[in-house]
Structure 1
Amino acid sequence: MNLYPINAGNFKLDGGAMFGVVPKSLWTRTNPADSNNMIDIAARCLLIEDSDRLILIDTGMGNKQSEKFYGYYHLWGDDTIDKSLAKYGFHRDDITDVFMTHLHFDHCGGSIQYNKDRTLLEPAFKNAVFWSNDKHWQWATQPNRREVASFLKENILPMEACGHLKFTSLPKKDLLKNSALGFDIFFANGHTEKQMIPMIRYQDKTICFMADLLPTVGHLPIPFVMGYDTRPLLSLDEKEKFLNLAADNNYYLFLEHDAHHELITVQHTEKGVRLKEIHTSKDIFNL
């Protein structure tokens, strides 16, 4: 098995929204804001090369929305999925599976694209199966008023229409062992219904793709949860449980949204679970 970081692009989000009720004087220590209160955010995906499968976890925002839409998110840098794949010798047509942690636009928008004359929506990975779960799919296709602006129909419905959509099994509790894609999945419901956190056994390590359960290093303290979370009190419990597991087992946490830190390990301290070490994909994945 080989792992590769795939940067689908960088953007900015309001720091207050990213940290909820936490005062700015605290969260700016780890996530500095610009004059508009915006902080740097990445859309860092993960590619798994395992035997004859090439699995891409999440796909970023994509490029099919309007200029006005992207104007809200202050895109920066020149990273794209295609550039990142090409860096490691791959093309989007090589992808066999696209696993979506959840269907918010910044995690799945790159899964669907317009055709050349922008008249039809089509899969951006024409040879891939798209993976979600039935509980989250129902949640996303019948969105609540809180999340309706994050679940965009043009990102979601074409996956089903093209016939490439599959659902993972759901666990009895919160952990699905050895899913159809070969990795364990931790299910979390605080951010959105049935968000999936892949836990990949790589050599002698466990690499956890943290999605929105832990967006950045700055979100390590348990009360530091996003204003975007639909059930913030549940987020507190889920994050605490997962971070304790990570500290106990020395999991490597792959940060999707931290623009400046790729992987971290954590440890128990008197203040709770806190940062142990910062790592790069180059070192951990032997790139």
Structure 2
Amino acid sequence: MQIHAIHAGHFSCDGGALFSVIPKPLWTKAYPADENNVTRLTMRCLLVDQGERKILIEAGVGDHYPEKVKRNNGHEETDALPGSLAEKGYLVGDITDVVFTHLHWDHCNGAVLKEEQSLKLLFPNATHWCSKRQWEHAQVSNMRERAAYFYDVLNFLKAEGNMQLVENEGELFPDFEVRFFDGHTPGQMIPLVKHEGKTYVYTSDLIPTTANIPIVWLASYDLYPVTTMEEKEAFLKEAADNKYVLFFEHDFYSECATVEWTDRGPKLKEVFSLSK
């Protein structure tokens, strides 16, 4: 098996949204912002090459938006995914499986191309996966979250992308386990990949950046913040005990990290890149 970090572009986010009730003088020490309180985020996919099976986790934001939306959300290099794969020696046709942690626009829309008035799969040979709970939730989502779902893209993936809905936690592929977390959005599906004696956890929006490791440092995007805190606490205790490698999808500055558990809760231990 080989694993590779794959670049899918950058975007931006208001710092208050990324850190919720945490005061700005505190969070800016952990994660930079510009003069407009805007933080820079990235979309970092993970490619798991198991030989005949080549699994890509997430697909980025894609290019489905008016210029105003791109400008307001700081979109950069959102067409980078095929080129990033090519740098590692892969074509889009090589990808056999695309796993979505959830169906918000910055996680799955990049799997679909928009050409004039038509939609097209970026990964024509791939089976696409998400949790059944997330799929069903997306169909009835509340007013606050609904803008994060692009139903033309989702329905196209379901009809043309062989979308498979995962009902149970556990092994999805050899050495590739998924677990469900509901605080950010119901049925967020977090992959745990075993590789060379280590467990790599694709943290997605459970822990968007290293600065979100403290239990109460939540993003405002979490639908159920108390649930997120409970899920983070249990997971980070497990991560510290088992020396998991956390792989961050959105942290512009840090790719991977380990954590330790202290009498004050989880603490960032070591930061490094996947190629270390």
Aligned residue identity for 2:252: A
Kept after mapping to 2: 8 A contact 1:15/1:33: yes
> What is the alpha-carbon distance in structure 2 between the residues aligned to residue 231 and residue 35 of structure 1?
30
Q: Does 1:150 align with 2:148?
A: yes
RMSD between superposed Cα atoms in Å: 1.4
Instruction: Within 5 Å, give how 1:183-222 maps onto structure 2.
Output: 183-222=176-215
> What is the alpha-carbon distance in structure 1 between the residues aligned to residue 136 and residue 170 of structure 2?
23
> What is the alpha-carbon distance in structure 2 between the residues aligned to residue 63 and residue 76 of structure 1?
10
Residue 182 of structure 1, CA deviation: 4.5
Q: Does 1:74 align with 2:74?
A: yes
Aligned to 1:173: none
Aligned residue identity for 2:18: M
> What is the alpha-carbon distance in structure 2 between the residues aligned to residue 273 and residue 250 of structure 1?
12
Aligned to 2:91: 91
Residue 78 of structure 1, CA deviation: 7.9
Kept after mapping to 2: 8 A contact 1:169/1:179: no
> What is the alpha-carbon distance in structure 1 between the residues aligned to residue 138 and residue 123 of structure 2?
21
Identity over aligned pairs, percent: 39
Residue 163 of structure 1, CA deviation: 5.2
Q: Does 1:265 align with 2:243?
A: no
| Segment of structure 1 superposing worse, 61-70 or 95-104 | 61-70
Q: Does 1:134 align with 2:127?
A: no
Aligned residue identity for 1:126: P
Aligned residue identity for 1:227: S
Residue 282 of structure 1, CA deviation: 1.1
Residue 178 of structure 1, CA deviation: 1.4
Q: Deviations over 1:15-54 (max 9, x none)?
A: 0001111111111011111011100101000001002011
Residue 73 of structure 1, CA deviation: 1.0
Q: Does 1:242 align with 2:235?
A: yes
Kept after mapping to 2: 8 A contact 1:9/1:77: yes
Structure 2 vs 1, CA of residues 163 and 37 (structure 1 numbering), >3 Å: closer, same or farther? closer
Aligned to 2:7: 7
Residue 75 of structure 1, CA deviation: 2.5
> What is the alpha-carbon distance in structure 2 between the residues aligned to residue 209 and residue 67 of structure 1?
30
> What is the alpha-carbon distance in structure 2 between the residues aligned to residue 281 and residue 187 of structure 1?
24
| Segment of structure 1 superposing worse, 118-127 or 46-55 | 118-127
| Segment of structure 1 superposing worse, 202-211 or 87-96 | 87-96
Q: Does 1:101 align with 2:94?
A: no
Instruction: Within 5 Å, give how 1:107-118 maps onto structure 2.
Output: 107-115=107-115, 118=116
Residue 94 of structure 1, CA deviation: 1.0
Aligned to 2:16, what secondary structure does the other structure show? helix
Which of 255, 275, 282 is residue 248 of structure 2 equivalent to?
255
Kept after mapping to 2: 8 A contact 1:184/1:198: yes
Residue 272 of structure 1, CA deviation: 1.0
Structure 2 vs 1, CA of residues 33 and 163 (structure 1 numbering), >3 Å: closer, same or farther? closer
Aligned residue identity for 2:219: M
User: What TM-score does the superposition give when structure 1 sets the normalisation length?
Assistant: 0.93
Residue 144 of structure 1, CA deviation: 1.3
Residue 177 of structure 1, CA deviation: 2.3
Q: Deviations over 1:3-24 (max 9, x none)?
A: 0001100111000001111111
Q: Deviations over 1:158-183 (max 9, x none)?
A: 0112151111232xxxxx22124651
User: What TM-score does the superposition give when structure 2 sets the normalisation length?
Assistant: 0.96
User: What is the total number of aligned residue pairs between the two structures?
Assistant: 276
> What is the alpha-carbon distance in structure 1 between the residues aligned to residue 205 and residue 222 of structure 2?
9
Residue 186 of structure 1, CA deviation: 1.8
Q: Deviations over 1:246-287 (max 9, x none)?
A: 00000000000000100000001232110110111111xxxx
Aligned residue identity for 1:178: E
Structure 2 vs 1, CA of residues 149 and 45 (structure 1 numbering), >3 Å: closer, same or farther? same
Aligned residue identity for 1:130: H
Gap runs ≥5 in structure 2: none
Kept after mapping to 2: 8 A contact 1:7/1:79: no
Aligned to 2:65: 65
